[in-house]
Amino acid sequence: MTVEETRKPIAQITEIVLPNDANTLGNLLGGKVMHLIDIACAIAASRHCRRPVVTASIDHLDFKHPIKVGELVIVKAALNRAFRTSMEVGAKVMSENMLTGECRHTSTAYLTFVALGEDGKPIPVPEYIPQTDEEKRRWEQAAIRRENRLREAKKLADV
């Protein structure tokens, strides 16, 4: 990875699925997938703000296809949008059969991270300006998801 790539708010983790990370059906444990998503997304968020970050929430996570022992699990994470002290990071999980080359999209998740100052309290994060059409699309969609998160939190608080 080049120095320029480490400045981008992205991350990728690739691991081979071994039996110790699988259930009795030979599928990667959902908790392990969540763990890898959290790590990749935290790296992307921290690369953006160059501060320690903590996971504030995970919006949604569906498991579309299992990832089998012997396959690769690939987690790609990218900053979608920076707000005041929080950032939304999206993760796309893929599986790859190393023998056939077949790749499958297995999961997508959206996580919110908060940057922390020296005192351990939330601090403002730098603005994120999307450059590509894909980044702009994700930036716009992040605002909609944030609105939904805030509306849902308010509804739950009113109960």
- pLDDT > 70: percent of the chain: 96
Instruction: Provide the whole-model pTM.
Output: 0.92
Q: Exposed, middle or buried, 106 (CB in 10 Å: 0-12/13-18/19+)? A: buried
Torsion of CA 27, 33, 36, 38, to 10 degrees: -170
Q: Exposed, middle or buried, 154 (CB in 10 Å: 0-12/13-18/19+)? A: exposed
Question: Residue 3: what pLDDT?
Answer: 60
Average pLDDT of span 41-64: 95
Average pLDDT of span 100-124: 97
Provide the mean pLDDT of the chain.
95
Answer yes or no: is pLDDT of 98 > 70. yes
Answer yes or no: is pLDDT of 5 > 70. no
Query: Would you identify the CATH topology of the domain 3-157?
Result: Thiol Ester Dehydrase; Chain A (3.10.129)
Average pLDDT of span 53-71: 95
